[in-house]
Chain A
């Protein structure tokens, strides 16, 4: 599971450089996000631009990540493919996350909030 991290002033961008977050990858995903976010206090944007497929196990892992980041560090999502967006819509999990068209858009929204 390859996830790269990039820090802005206000947000940490985690880019998932994999095609799938599925049952075979869910545990690795959780562990990786936990390790990458351990040393800072910023909110997190999960950039899913390269992800083509998320199943219910992957969805559960993303929710778990939101939970361990806690109230003070929101987890936002960016760049959902049509089928990934459909999973979030059908499970109504889209209501639980702020979802942005791209990571840049998430950064812009955050900059506006802080201005």
Chain B
């Protein structure tokens, strides 16, 4: 796949032309994902976002990356994840890509409904990830392109004094 073709296809998905605040590529394993999250936190620091906004960003990225480790690369310990983040006014846009298996049905999973009135033994211990991603993003685009999974996510963010101004629950 020529790079130019991929770039123009990406532009058609939403026109990400500003240089990213964070761009990194890291191995697809739990420890590397954890380190990447810390790097991204540093990279976004200059934008003075609220602690809750940073937590939300981190959660969305961590869930997306954990899914890549577990499902796209099937916990093989092989493969890399590429991530870029751009802070726009009021939003942070991410692009996360990998060369693992495509998503089933070429679509990201929906929020799973769990029966929380179930008996203690039946309570769910997993299957929360995509629900959290969907709840915390304002847009979510998935494409399989040239052997890559490309996920573009947008999260609404607030300035750092916002948590104090609006602290009613979360």
- Interface size for A (C-beta < 8 A) is 31
Contact (Cβ within 8 A) B51 A82: yes
Contact (Cβ within 8 A) A57 B66: yes
> Which residues of chain A are near B121, meaning CB under 8 Å?
67
B148 at the interface (CB under 8 A from A): no
> Which residues of chain A are near B51, meaning CB under 8 Å?
82-83
Encoded as 1 (CB less than 8 Å from any A CB) or 0, chain B from 5 to 38 comes to 0000000000000000000000000110110000
Instruction: Name the segment of B85-93, B96-104, B131-139, B149-157 touching the other chain.
Output: B131-139
Contact (Cβ within 8 A) B66 A90: no
B81 at the interface (CB under 8 A from A): no
Contact among A55, A64, A86, A91 for B66, CB-based, below 8 A: A55
A32 at the interface (CB under 8 A from B): no
> Which residues of chain B are near A24, meaning CB under 8 Å?
30-31, 33-34
* Interchain CA distance A87-B62 in the complex, whole Å: 13
Contact (Cβ within 8 A) B69 A23: yes
Using a CB–CB cutoff of 8 Å, the interface residues on chain A facing chain B are 20, 22-24, 52-53, 55-57, 59-61, 63-64, 66-67, 70-71, 81-83, 85-87, 89-93, 95-96
5 residue pairs bridging A and B, Cβ less than 8 Å apart: A24-B31, A60-B124, A63-B125, A83-B59, A90-B132
